[in-house]
Amino acid sequence: MMENNGIILLNKPEDLSSNTAVNIVKKIFSSKKAGHTGTLDPFAEGLLPVCINKGTKIVRYLMDKDKEYTGTIRLGSETDTLDKTGKITDTGKIPELTPELIENAMKKFRGTISQVPPAYSALKHNGIPLYKYARNGEIIEKKPRHINIYKLETIFFDHDILKIKVKCSKGTYIRSLASDLARELGTFGHLEELTRTKSGSFDLENAFTLEALRKKQENNQLEDCIINIEDATSFLKTIQIDTKTEQAVSNGKKINLNDISSNFTIEEDTPFRLLTKNNKIKAFVRMENNCDFLKYDAVFN
């Protein structure tokens, strides 16, 4: 059986962890390796890009991409997890809100902001996810981190329901954003629904449900669901190499910058691709510490 390599866009259902979803996809495609490009909480649904086999070598490049979400905030109550799965910890009256008041509050969250990761998150402390500490009654407070909110707008509002659309940088916790926004509005709030609609250039509209993947499996059409590595990394700058250099890469030899022709400025620690004459990925490389030789991130033989 030919090995499948690349990315599958999964429409992850609610009440399924990202790791469980990845393992199901791995089994469907009979893959040796699989990994996702950014965790979705179990209560959340939507786009989860899953990399299989050699595709796992590009996870690091895809994780850095911006994300887009739609979320529903339930105003008037806050939970310990900041979402609907937690226990209510605070309640408060909801003031008379208008579109203008909501817009003025949202303005304060657009751009570069500081955000504290929630206690119930997969972020690790001493190698252990924060949610494991929290479940044992130990709350680990992490330092605020800078994130970017590129877009934050109202989709729908009716008294205690505020539906929002968000475009943000990696590492943004929409649960924290929902809670902070509710407090800025003069009340409490928690996230009731969350859907990831975009991740980098990937769109939920092109994603497959698990049921659809199983149907493709039954019809021997799984190859139709795979985005190849070349297409998935087309956002990276590229240098096409000759046969001699291709062989040198295969043999693990050092490649001197002077031996390749580039139509762009090679910047320190910025990854780019080496493509063969047949437009196949040969390696991901970067210049490190202003060295004359390229450092290999990944090689494809």
For residues 61 and 271, give the distance between their C-alpha atoms in angstroms, rounded to a whole number. Answer: 9
**pLDDT tens for residues 59-71?**
999 999 999 999 9
Q: Quickly count: other Cβ atoms within 10 Å of residue 120's Cβ.
A: 23
Query: Tokens standing for 289?
Result: 């510490």
For 14, the token pair is: 């609610």
DSSP for 200-214 reads TTEEGGG-B-HHHHH
> What's residue 187's pLDDT?
98
Calculate what percentage of the chain has a pLDDT beyond 70.
92
> Quick one: average pLDDT of 148-163?
97
- Which two structure tokens, joined as six digits, stand for 255? 């490649």
Domains and their CATH numbers in the chain:
6-65+201-228 (3.30.2350.10), 67-196 (3.30.2350.10), 238-299 (2.30.130.10)
Mean pLDDT, residues 278-282: 94
Range in 54-58, 188-192, 286-290 the model is least confident about? 286-290
Dihedral of alpha carbons 202, 228, 209, 129, sign: negative
> Does position 2 have pLDDT exceeding 60, yes or no?
yes
pLDDT band at 251 (very low <50, low <70, confident <90, very high): very high
Residue pLDDT, tens place only, 182-194: 999 999 999 999 9
- Burial (0-12, 13-18, 19+ Cβ within 10 Å), 152: buried
Tell me what pLDDT residue 130 has: 65
3 state SS for 42-60: CCCEEEEEEEEHHHHHHHH
Q: What is the DSSP pairing of strand 161-168 with strand 124-125?
A: unpaired
Query: Tell me, what's the pLDDT at 156?
Result: 97
Q: What is the 3-state secondary structure (H, E, C) of 75-89?
A: ECEEECCCECCCCEE
For residue 1, pLDDT beyond 60: no
Structure-token pair, residue 150: 């590129």
Residues 6+ apart with CB under 8 A from 178: 71, 73, 82, 164, 189, 190, 191
pLDDT for residue 16: 94
Q: What percent of the chain has pLDDT over 90?
A: 78
The span from the CA of 64 to the CA of 70, in Å, is 20
Per-residue pLDDT tens over the stretch 99-139: 999 999 999 999 999 998 876 666 666 676 666 766 766 66
Place of tokens 């939920």: 204
Catalytic residues: 41
Residue 57, Cβ neighbours under 10 Å: how many? 21
DSSP bridge partners of 162: 73, 157
Beta strands in the chain (DSSP E): 6-12, 34-36, 45-52, 67-75, 77-79, 88-91, 111-115, 124-125, 128-129, 145-158, 161-168, 189-199, 202-203, 226-227, 238-240, 272-275, 281-287, 294-299
pLDDT value of residue 175: 94
Average pLDDT over residues 174-186: 96
Confidence of residue 248 (pLDDT cuts 50, 70, 90): very high
Phi, psi torsion values for 138, nearest 5 degrees: -110, 115
Given this model, what pLDDT does residue 122 score? 67
